[in-house]
């Protein structure tokens, strides 16, 4: 696999006015989302729900690709077409989450490190054969009293960089996601400082592990006040702080940055992305890789009638894709 091919895939992931839909909830996480709206967490319901999302009519107008979970990439549409093939046939790039989740970092209470490097090369080979062309690995950085520590940040950056190097060796574009968690009483300045240190550490590790930045996508969290801080900030303040933080840490050669929604409301996630693009031109395309902010409305509607609300829920997915696609161009109007 050449660097050119990796770069081409990465650029297609952030094509103008398009973003990624994250549907890679682990079985435990989708269980929580389903429980929230009273849906039974059976394999068939998970398959049907992912089918609803991926077969939304005209989704490819605004969606360049989707991140799946291990179970999902092995599942098919009701007509028997594997989801990855369905996506490629419809101009969307299949992606796969390959990390094995977070575990307590020994010796560092309140901090976690993401696992999943052991055996990763063989798993990546299989995912490529199953049709995946990009991967995701999520690190989690918590803000609290005396945390994050440098040790936690470096351990997570090291794992992200080892993962990214393995992905590129196997012809897969790594999406590197260091999520600075919104929970907490910290203010926006503290989120800025932590995010800055985390991104500096990440890019230093990527370079150290010979990761080709032209074939890498960053999935970033926005710079926002902690959810229990009580601090009120405007859409423009979040957009400006996030842009400043990214510009001071992320090399311009990166093909693109996509954001996670992290628990923001649908409207905020869209408005923040839109504002950042209106403040451009920026060094990289800025788009979305939202999970909850793409799915929440559709999941709620579908839960009310799994048979009869299928098409209506798809219309909601399309509407969210359109809003976020326009926000990726700075053309969204509330
Ligand atoms: P949210 O947009 O719901 O934060 O999910 C995106 C994601 O994939 C987090 O890893």
Residue 13 CA to ligand 1 center (angstroms) comes to 16
Distance separating the N- and C-terminal Cα atoms of the chain: 42
Q: What is the structure's pLDDT at 1?
A: 65
Indicate the burial class of 116 (C-beta count within 10 angstroms; 0-12, 13-18, 19 or more): middle
Q: What is the complex's ipTM, to 2 decimals?
A: 0.92
Ligand 1 atom with the smallest distance to the CA of 262 is 4
Task: Look up tokens 């990166």; give the residue.
Answer: 254
Query: Does the CB atom of residue 178 touch ligand 1 within 6 A?
Result: no
Q: What is the structure's pLDDT at 218?
A: 99
The secondary element (H helix, E strand) that includes residue 141 is strand 134-141
Helix axis angle, 27-37 relative to 292-304, nearest 10°? 50
Q: Which tokens go with 130?
A: 């199953």
Contact predicate 168/121, CB 8 Å: no
Query: Does the CB atom of residue 219 touch ligand 1 within 6 A?
Result: no
Report the candidate in 88, 77, 179 with the shortest Cα–Cα distance to residue 128: 88
Which of 69, 116, 160, 289 should be mutated for ligand 1, with most atoms under 8 A from CB?
A: 289
Q: What is the structure's pLDDT at 334?
A: 87
Contact predicate 254/284, CB 8 Å: yes
Query: Does the CB atom of residue 158 touch ligand 1 within 6 A?
Result: no
Ligand 1 atom with the smallest distance to the CA of 138 is 10
Contact predicate 286/325, CB 8 Å: no
Low-confidence ranges of the chain (pLDDT < 50): none
Ligand 1 atom with the smallest distance to the CA of 260 is 2
Non-local CB neighbours of 295 within 8 Å, separated by 6+ positions: 21, 23, 33, 53, 317, 320
Instruction: Tell me: cis bond preceding 148? Omega within 30 of 0 counts.
Output: yes
Residue 258 CA to ligand 1 center (angstroms) comes to 11
Instruction: Tell me: cis bond preceding 171? Omega within 30 of 0 counts.
Output: no
Query: Does the CB atom of residue 292 touch ligand 1 within 6 A?
Result: yes
* Gap between the Cα atoms of 241 and 221, Å rounded: 12
Q: Give SS3 for 34.
A: helix
Query: Does the CB atom of residue 96 touch ligand 1 within 6 A?
Result: no
Q: What is the structure's pLDDT at 312?
A: 98
Query: Does the CB atom of residue 294 touch ligand 1 within 6 A?
Result: no
């Amino acid at each position: 696999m050449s660097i050119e091919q990796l770069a081409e895939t990465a650029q297609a992931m952030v094509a103008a006015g398009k973003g990624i839909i994250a549907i890679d909830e682990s079985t435990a996480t989708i269980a929580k989302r389903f429980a929230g709206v009273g849906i039974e967490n059976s394999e068939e319901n998970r398959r049907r729900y992912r089918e609803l999302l991926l077969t939304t009519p005209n989704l490819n107008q605004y969606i360049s690709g989707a991140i799946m979970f291990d179970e999902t990439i092995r599942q098919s549409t009701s007509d028997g077409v594997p989801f990855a093939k369905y996506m490629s046939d419809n101009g969307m790039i299949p992606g796969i989450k390959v990390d094995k989740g977070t575990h307590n970092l020994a010796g560092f209470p309140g901090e976690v490190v993401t696992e999943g490097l052991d055996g990763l090369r063989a798993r990546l080979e299989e995912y490529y054969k199953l049709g995946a062309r990009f991967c995701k690995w999520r690190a989690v950085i918590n803000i609290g009293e005396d945390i994050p520590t440098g040790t936690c940040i470096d351990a997570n950056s090291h794992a992200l960089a080892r993962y990214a190097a393995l992905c590129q060796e196997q012809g897969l574009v790594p999406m590197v996601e260091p999520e600075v968690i919104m929970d907490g009483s910290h203010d926006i300045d503290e989120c800025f400082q932590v995010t800055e240190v985390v991104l500096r550490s990440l890019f230093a590790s990527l370079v150290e592990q010979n990761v080709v930045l032209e074939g890498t996508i960053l999935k970033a969290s926005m710079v926002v006040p902690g959810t229990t801080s009580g601090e009120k900030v405007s859409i423009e303040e979040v957009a400006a702080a996030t842009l400043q933080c990214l510009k001071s840490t992320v090399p311009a050669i990166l093909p693109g940055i996509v954001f996670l929604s992290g628990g923001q409301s649908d409207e905020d996630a869209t408005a923040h992305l839109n504002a950042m693009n209106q403040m451009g031109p920026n060094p990289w395309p800025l788009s979305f890789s939202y999970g909850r902010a793409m799915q929440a409305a559709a999941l709620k509607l579908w839960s009310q009638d799994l048979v009869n609300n299928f098409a209506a829920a798809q219309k909601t997915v399309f509407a969210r894709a359109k809003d976020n696609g326009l926000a990726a161009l700075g053309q969204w109007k509330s």
